[in-house]
């Protein structure tokens, strides 16, 4: 199970620990600020809290991109989401055009 969570009432690391303790194999954090997207906001790396106890992958999506994913999840109940590590330095963001390409390939769900 990969889980999606929204908001920033606690650190991403705490969200990761909570998801991991519930048996999730990954987590996707959705920005709670309306209108944010890879097209209009700079990419950044999520930071931890100094502990190295979270073993599941965690991903951040801006709100517009997150809504696209949520619509896809509603439209296709058996949707599979794959999260993979990319080569590069730790904390390095995925190139913006890769993210846009990923969402461009989703079916139109307006």
Residue range 85-110, pLDDT digits in tens: 666 655 555 544 454 455 555 555 44
CA-to-CA distance for 93 and 81, rounded, in angstroms?
Answer: 18
pLDDT digits (tens, 9 = 90+) for 28-37: 888 888 999 8
**46 within 8 A of 12, measured Cβ to Cβ:** yes
Q: pTM for the whole thing? A: 0.67
Collect all residues with Cβ–Cβ distance below 8 Å to 19 and sequence separation of at least 6: 3, 5, 26, 27, 56
**37 within 8 A of 64, measured Cβ to Cβ:** yes
pLDDT digits (tens, 9 = 90+) for 35-67: 998 888 887 777 778 888 999 888 888 899 889
pLDDT for the residue 35:
92
Range 19-34 average pLDDT = 88
Give the pLDDT band of residue 8 (cuts 50, 70, 90): low
Of 3 and 83, the structure prediction assigns the larger pLDDT to 83
Count of beta carbons in the 10 Å neighbourhood of residue 6: 15
Answer whether residue 75 shows pLDDT above 50.
yes
CATH architecture, domain defined by 2-104: 3-Layer(bba) Sandwich (3.50)
């Amino acid at each position: 199970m990969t889980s999606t969570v929204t908001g920033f009432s606690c650190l991403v690391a705490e969200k990761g620990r909570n998801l991991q303790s519930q048996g999730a194999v990954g987590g996707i954090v959705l920005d709670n600020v309306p209108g944010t997207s890879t097209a209009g906001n700079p990419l950044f790396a999520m930071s931890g809290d100094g502990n190295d106890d979270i073993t599941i992958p965690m991903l951040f999506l801006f709100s517009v991109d997150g809504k696209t994913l949520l619509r896809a999840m509603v439209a296709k109940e058996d949707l599979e989401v794959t999260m993979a590590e990319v080569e590069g330095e730790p904390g390095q963001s995925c190139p913006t055009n890769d993210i846009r390409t990923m969402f461009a390939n989703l079916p139109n769900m307006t």
